[in-house]
Amino acid sequence: MEEEKGAAAGAVPEYNGRAGRALTAQAEREMQTLELMLKLFCRKKHKCKEGLCEECRDLLAYARYRRSLCPFGDKKTFCSNCKIHCYLPQMHEKMRAVMRFSGPRMLFYSPKAALAHVAETVRTSRARKREEKVKKRAAKAAKGADK
């Protein structure tokens, strides 16, 4: 168990023999939160006693790999708020099921991680709305300057 954590932290994510880029500190925090959610999902839905089952490990590896390839880097919001969706449809559905099940329960099992996740979600959605307003104003100003 400790071997897995040591190998995953700071390592280059790999999925089906393909390697991605090393994850940033922010991406690592997101992956730790995702791992907590997957462990909760796996324990409750798949009735696994220790760690993650093969299906959940595969989903975590896939998420780490896709996150490592994200073109937004540290400016990446959570995938639910993202402009582009890089997951395969079947993986996207699996992840949605995990999030839908584990999200509300995280408050009871890991309140610190849950609150940090909610705060980050609110922060990123507000920042995105601010950016959209600035772009609209700039487009309006440019349109006005053309006349």
Q: What tens digit of pLDDT does each residue of 132-141 get? A: 899 888 888 8
Average pLDDT for 122-142:
85
| In the chain, domain spans | 2-146
Question: pLDDT of 50-82, one tens digit each?
Answer: 778 888 888 998 888 888 888 877 777 677 667
Q: Which pLDDT does position 101 carry in this prediction?
A: 92
Res. 3: pLDDT tops 50: no
Name the burial class of residue 50, with classes exposed (0-12), middle (13-18) and buried (19+) by CB atoms within 10 angstroms of its CB.
exposed
pLDDT for 127: 81
Strands 18-19 and 14-15: antiparallel
Is the Cβ–Cβ distance between 134 and 126 less than 8 Å?
no
How many Å apart are CA 1 and CA 95, to the nearest integer? 23
Q: What is the mean pLDDT of the chain?
A: 80
pLDDT band at 6 (very low <50, low <70, confident <90, very high): very low
Residues 41-53 have pLDDT tens digits of 998 888 877 778 8
